[in-house]
Amino acid sequence: MNKGKKPLTGPLKGLRILDLTRLYPGPLGTMMLADMGAEVIKIEDMNSPDYMRFYPPYLASESTGYLAVNRSKRSIALNLKSKKGLDIFFALVKTADIVVEQFRPGVLDEMGLGYDRARRFKADIIYVSVTGYGQNGPYAQHAGHDINYIGYSGILSTTGSKKTGPIIPGPQIADVAGGAYMTIIACLCALWSRQKSGQGQRVDVSMLDAILPLMTLQMAHYQAAGLSPAVGEAALSGGLACYDVYRCADEKYIALGILEEKFWKNFCDMAGHPDWLPKQFVIGEEADQLKAEISAFFETKKREEWIATSTDYDICMTPVLEIAEIETDPQIQARNMIIKQTHPLCGKIKGIGVPLKFSATPAKPSGPAPTLGQDTADIMKEIGYKPQEIEALKKEGVILISGN
C-alpha cells in the first residue's frame, strides 16, 4: 500500500505538490508527476471527495477510473468548509512547492483557498489552475467537457470521413494533451522560473488553448490554400490512399502510413502493383479509386499474415491493435508500459507505465491509488499536529482518517 511513504526514486524526488484536482485531466497530470518522484498529496473535501471515486465500472469497491489516475499519491481528507480545515490546508502550503487546482475561475477564492491568500503563508508558492477555457474571456465561466473543447479547436471538424461527418476520437484529447500534459509542463516551467528568480507565480492552463497547437499544420495549410478541407479530405486525415486504415480478411485492421517515396515503392513491390507507383499522392476521385483497390488487396489475407509478409519489406505498416491486445505487444512489453500493482481491496491491478525513461533517476510508481484519507494521520503528524490534536479534529469532523 505504501501508506505514509514518499516516492523513493525519480527525477522529481523532493518536490511536494498539493493536488486539489478531480476527475481526469488534473489527476492524470499530478499522477505522472508523482510517478516521476514528486510527493503528491491529494487533498479532498471529506464531505465531497473526488467524483471519480464513484464512477463505474468498479474493481471490488473501487472505481477503475479513480485507480487509473491516482496512483503514487498520498491522501488527506479535510472539511474544507471549516476554519480548522483551512488552517490545515495552509499549514500544508507552507511545506509545498506547487498547488494544482481544477475549479472554475473564482471558485477557489470563494472557498478561501486562493492563490493570493496562499502567498501570505508561502510567498514563492506556485499555483497551477487548469480549466476548460482559462481564467478570462467570454467562455471563462462556461461549463465544458473534452468534446466541447475539441469542438472549438477544429479537431472535431477534421476527424471523421465523408460518410460519417465529424466523429468523436477514442481518447479524450483535450483532457490528456490539453489538461494532464500541460499541467506537467506548467509545473516544471514555473519551478525553473522560481529557481532563477526566487518568485512563485500562478499559471493559467486553458485546455482549449493547450490543444490548439495540435492544429498547427492544419492552420498553416489553411492559410496557404485559403480552403478548409471537408472532413476526411485533409492529406493526413483520410485524403490520401497511402495514409489510411484498411480492413483485413479477419475484420481486423492495418494502419498504412507511407509518405516517403522509398517506402511507397517497397509497398508497391510487396503488393505486386507497380501500376500504383505514380499514384501515391493522388487526391479526390483518383484517391477514392486507389483506396478501393488497396482495400480489396488487404481483404485477401488476415491482419497477422500481412504483418508477417511486411517484415521482408521496409514499410510503415502496422496493426491497429485493440485494447485487449496492447499488453501483449512485444514493443510495449519491452518498454514496461503495462505495469501491475497490488491493491489492498482490489488485488492485482494493471495500469499504463511511466512513459519517460531516465538513465540516472529511474521513475516508477510508488503504490496504488490511496483510499480516502489513507494518509491523513501521517501527514498531520508531519506538519506538527500531536496525536491528541489529530484525534480531537477527527471527532470534530474536521478530518477523515481512512476506515473511520
User: pTM of the full predicted structure?
Assistant: 0.95
Least Cα distance to 187 among 36, 343, 56, 398 occurs for 36
For CA atoms 385, 391, 392, 393, the dihedral sign is positive
What are 292-347's pLDDT values in tens digits? 999 999 999 999 999 999 999 999 999 999 999 999 999 999 999 999 999 999 99
pLDDT classification of 8: cutoffs 50, 70, 90: confident
Could you tell me the strand order of the sheet in which 317-319 lies? 243-247, 253-257, 317-319
Write down the pLDDT at residue 196.
97
Domains of the chain in sequence order: 16-214+333-400 (3.40.50.10540), 243-327 (3.30.1540.10)
Write down the pLDDT at residue 198.
97
Write down the pLDDT at residue 225.
85
Mean pLDDT for 276-294 is: 96
Q: Is the pLDDT of residue 151 over 50?
A: yes
C-alpha cell at 179: 489538461
Distances (CA, A) of 357 to 10, 117, 336, 353: 10, 38, 10, 10
What are 103-126's pLDDT values in tens digits? 999 999 999 999 999 999 999 999
pLDDT classification of 5: cutoffs 50, 70, 90: low
Mean pLDDT for 342-354 is: 94
3-state helix, strand, coil in the chain (%, to 5): 40, 15, 40
C-alpha cell at 144: 465544458
For 352, the enclosing helix (H) or strand (E) is strand 347-352
Mean pLDDT for 33-37 is: 98
Mean pLDDT for 370-374 is: 96
Cα 193 to Cα 201: distance, rounded to the nearest angstrom: 9
Instruction: Give the angle 62-21-32 at the CA atoms, nearest 5°.
Output: 75
Mean pLDDT for 134-156 is: 97
pLDDT classification of 1: cutoffs 50, 70, 90: very low
Write down the pLDDT at residue 404.
57
Write down the pLDDT at residue 240.
96
Distances (CA, A) of 220 to 204, 227, 230: 26, 11, 16
Mean pLDDT for 258-282 is: 97
Q: Is the pLDDT of residue 2 over 70?
A: no
Residue 40 DSSP SS3: strand
Write down the pLDDT at residue 4.
47
Higher pLDDT, 134 or 404: 134
